[in-house]
Amino acid sequence: MSENSKRARGSNLYLMGCMGAGKSTVGQLLARVLGRDFIDLDEQIVVRAGRSLSKIFADEGELGFRQRESEALRQVAQRNNIVVALGGGAVLRDDNWGLIQQTGVSIYLKVRPELLAQRIESEPERPLLLGLTPQQRLQKLSEILESRRERYEQAEITLENERTPAEAVAAICEALGDEWGISIVPVALGERSYYIWIKPGLLRHISTLYERYRLGPRAAIITDETVAALYGPQIEEGLRRAGVETLVLSISPGEAQKSLRTAEMLYTRLLTAGCDRHTTIIALGGGVIGDLAGFVASTFLRGVPYVQVPTTLLAQVDSSVGGKTGVNHPLGKNLIGTFYQPRCVFIDPEVLKTLPKREVWSGLAEVVKYGLIRDPALWARLEEKFEDFVQRPETLSEVIARCCAIKSEIVSADEREGGLRKFLNFGHTVGHALEAASDYKLRHGEAIAWGMLIESRLSHAKTGLSASELERIEKLLARFLKPSLEPINHERVRELIRRDKKAHGGRVQFVLLRAIGDPVLCDTLSEAELTLTPIPSPEGGGGRSGGGAGGEVGVSDI
Q: Considering 23, 432, 443, 462, which one is annotated as catalytic?
A: 432
Asked if residue 410 belongs to a domain, the reply is no
Query: DSSP character for 482?
Result: -
Q: What is the CATH number of the domain that holds 454?
A: 1.20.1090.10
User: Residues 254, 168: one domain?
Assistant: no
Boundary of a domain, candidates 353, 370, 387: 370
Active site residue 205: no
pLDDT value for 502: 73
Which residues on adjacent β-strands are paired with residue 522?
A: 510
- Which of 369, 428, 462, 494 is catalytic? The answer is 428
pLDDT at 122: 64
Same domain, 126 and 153: yes
Task: Tell me how far apart the alpha carbons of residues 352 and 240 are, in angstroms, rounded to a whole number.
Answer: 25
417 is catalytic: yes
| Residue 338 contacts residue 420 (beta carbons within 8 Å) | no
DSSP run (H or E) holding 370: helix 357-373
Task: Note the pLDDT of residue 4.
Answer: 40
121/203 same-domain check: no
Report d(CA 175, CA 155) in Å as an integer.
13
Candidate list 36, 343, 402, 421, residue with the active-site label: 421
Q: Which of 125, 158, 176 is the last residue of a domain?
A: 176
Asked whether residue 413 is assigned to any structural domain, the reply reads no
**Does residue 540 contact residue 478 with C-beta atoms inside 8 Å?**
yes
CATH number at residue 26: 3.40.50.300
Q: How does pLDDT run along the chain (558 residues), one tens digit per residue?
A: 433 434 434 689 999 999 889 999 999 988 877 778 999 999 999 999 999 888 998 899 989 999 999 999 999 999 988 999 999 999 999 999 999 999 999 999 999 988 888 887 766 566 666 667 778 878 888 998 999 999 999 999 999 888 888 888 888 887 876 444 577 888 888 778 888 989 888 898 888 888 877 788 999 999 999 999 999 999 999 999 889 999 999 999 999 999 999 999 999 999 999 999 999 999 999 999 999 999 999 999 999 999 999 999 999 999 999 999 999 999 888 999 999 999 999 999 999 999 998 899 899 999 999 999 999 999 999 999 888 888 888 788 889 999 999 999 999 899 998 889 999 999 999 999 999 898 888 889 999 999 999 999 999 999 999 999 999 999 999 887 555 445 788 788 888 888 887 777 777 889 999 999 999 999 877 666 666 555 444 333 333 333 333 333 333 333
Tell the burial category of 105 from Cβ atoms under 10 Å away from its Cβ (0-12, 13-18, 19+): buried
Residue 209 counted as domain residue: yes
Same-domain check for residues 114 and 51: yes
The pLDDT value recorded for residue 285 is 97
Distance CA 346, CA 348 (A): 7
The residues that bridge with 106 in the sheet, in sequence order, are 14
Phi/psi class of residue 302: alpha, beta or left (left: φ > 0; alpha: ψ in -120 to 50)? Answer: left
Beta-sheet strand order (sheet of 194-198) = 183-187, 194-198, 344-347, 306-310, 279-285, 218-224, 245-251
Residue 328 appears among annotated catalytic residues = no
Q: Indicate whether 172 and 188 sit together in one domain.
A: no
pTM of the model: 0.75
Residue 12 included in any domain: yes
Q: Cα angle vertex 72, ends 67, 73, to 5°?
A: 100
Helix (H/G/I), strand (E/B), else coil: 325: strand
Q: What is the dihedral of CA 108, 112, 115, 116, to 10 degrees?
A: 50
How far, in Å, CA of 312 to CA of 396, rounded? 12
Name the active-site residue from 366, 435, 446, 455: 366
Structural domain boundaries enclosing 158: 2-176
Are residues 28 and 160 located together in one domain of the fold? Answer: yes
| Active-site pick, 324, 422, 460, 494 | 324
- The answer to whether position 268 is within a domain reads yes
- In this predicted structure, what is the pLDDT of residue 188? 82
Three-state SS at 172? helix
Are residue 496 and residue 546 in the same domain, yes or no? yes
Answer yes or no: 110 catalytic: no
- Specify whether 199 is located in the same domain as 342: yes
Q: Which member of 150, 302, 384, 387 is catalytic?
A: 302
Active site residue 407: yes
Helix (H) or strand (E) run with residue 250 in it = strand 245-251
CATH number at residue 197: 3.40.50.1970
- Total tally of structural domains belonging to the chain: 3
- pLDDT for 390 equals 82
| Whole-number pLDDT of residue 541 | 38
Q: Are 363 and 312 in contact (CB under 8 A)?
A: yes
Per-residue pLDDT at 150: 95
**8 and 135 both lie in a single domain:** yes
d(CA 331, CA 259): 12
Give the active site residue among 12, 328, 334, 425. Answer: 425
Q: What is the dihedral of CA 197, 203, 207, 211, to 10 degrees?
A: 10
508 shares a domain with 485: yes
444 is catalytic: yes
Q: Is 59 exposed, middle or buried (0-12, 13-18, 19+ CB in 10 A)?
A: exposed
Q: Does residue 293 fall inside a structural domain? A: yes
C-alpha triplet 163, 165, 168: angle, nearest 5°: 65
The answer as to whether 397 is a domain residue is no
Whether residues 326 and 220 fall in one domain: yes
Query: What three-state secondary structure class fits 544?
Result: coil
Query: Of these residues, 444, 460, 490, 494, which one is catalytic?
Result: 444
Domain endpoint, select from 149, 176, 203: 176
Annotated catalytic residue within 156, 174, 255, 417: 417
The answer to whether residues 154 and 199 belong to one domain is no
Q: Which H or E run includes 72?
A: helix 53-76
Query: 427 — alpha (psi -120 to 50), left (phi > 0) or beta?
Result: left
Residue 106: which of 126, 77, 128 has the closest Cα? Answer: 77
Residue 412 belongs to some domain of the structure: no
